[in-house]
Amino acid sequence: MPPAEETRYFKHPWILMYLVETCATYEFYKKFKKNSFYIKIEAANDDPEYEIKKLCTKLDFAYLPKIMKTSTCLNKPMLQYAGKSVKGYSKTKNYDSEKLDILVQALSGYLFNEAAREFGYKNINTNSLTKAEIFKKITFSDIWVQSFRICRVEGIRRTANKKNHLFKIFRTFKYYAQFLKYICLLFQYLLRASSCDNG
């Protein structure tokens, strides 16, 4: 992916899709809340055996103690290969000092503060920007051009036959249409997020 400062996070079509699908997942959870449960990743990391037992009980599955001994995938050993790491992530860089810019911070707050409160996390401050200001900043930003560039790069990369320019163009516009769909959905979630601010 391009550097974060280029994408402002949500400018990247795939990150935008992830944000929208996360909102949709929370909407689904709210709809079926009475029949739902969740396990926080922090709890699973702190005490995986307890949380997996709880999950098995809830789903009415038999708990098998041996699953805690060896990590497997499709009943085969799960291997971590040396040298596999997240692209753009540095082991030596201190990421704790990095902060989201005001626009991304406010947007995240409006979209996710309701869920954050429900699951026991702190609110993100949204006082810096109103929803109208967020709409204006996104609409008059370079998001349209930046996302098209990313879609073009992906269209070329995903085309096996590099000489077939028609497929490159088709894929570029296909990805850009997906981006437009998800930016519209993002705006819809932002409009509905009146209960997600600090109040």
> Do 14 and 56 lie in a common domain?
no
Is 79 inside any structural domain?
Answer: no
Kindly state whether residues 18 and 62 are assigned to the same domain: no
- Do 143 and 198 lie in one domain? The reply is yes
Give the integer Cα–Cα distance in Å for 137 and 182: 17
Does any domain span residue 27? Answer: yes
Per-residue pLDDT of the chain (199 residues; tens, 9 = 90+): 556 666 667 888 888 999 999 999 999 999 999 888 888 889 988 998 999 999 999 999 999 888 787 777 777 776 666 665 656 666 777 766 667 788 888 999 999 999 999 999 999 889 999 999 999 999 999 899 989 999 998 888 888 777 788 888 999 999 999 999 999 999 999 999 864 444 4
- In terms of domains, do 119 and 183 share one? yes
Q: Note down the domain range covering 68.
A: 40-74
Q: Give the relative orientation of helices 131-139 and 165-191 as an angle to the nearest 10 degrees.
A: 170
- 109 three-class SS: helix
Examine residue 93 and state whether it is found in any structural domain, yes or no: no
pTM: 0.75
pLDDT at residue number 199: 46
The pair of structure tokens assigned to 53 is 């037992």
**CA angle at residue 141 from 191 to 103, to 5 degrees?**
55
Number of independent structural domains in the chain: 2
For residue 85, being part of any structural domain is answered with no
CA proximity to 1, closest of 20, 23, 19, 16 = 16
What is residue 7's predicted lDDT score, i.e. its pLDDT?
A: 62
Look at residue 80 and tell me if it is in a domain: no
189, 107: one domain = yes
Quick check: 88 and 3 in contact, CB under 8 A? yes
Q: Residues with Cβ < 8 Å from 162, sequence gap 6 or more?
A: 156
Q: Does residue 186 share a domain with residue 112? A: yes
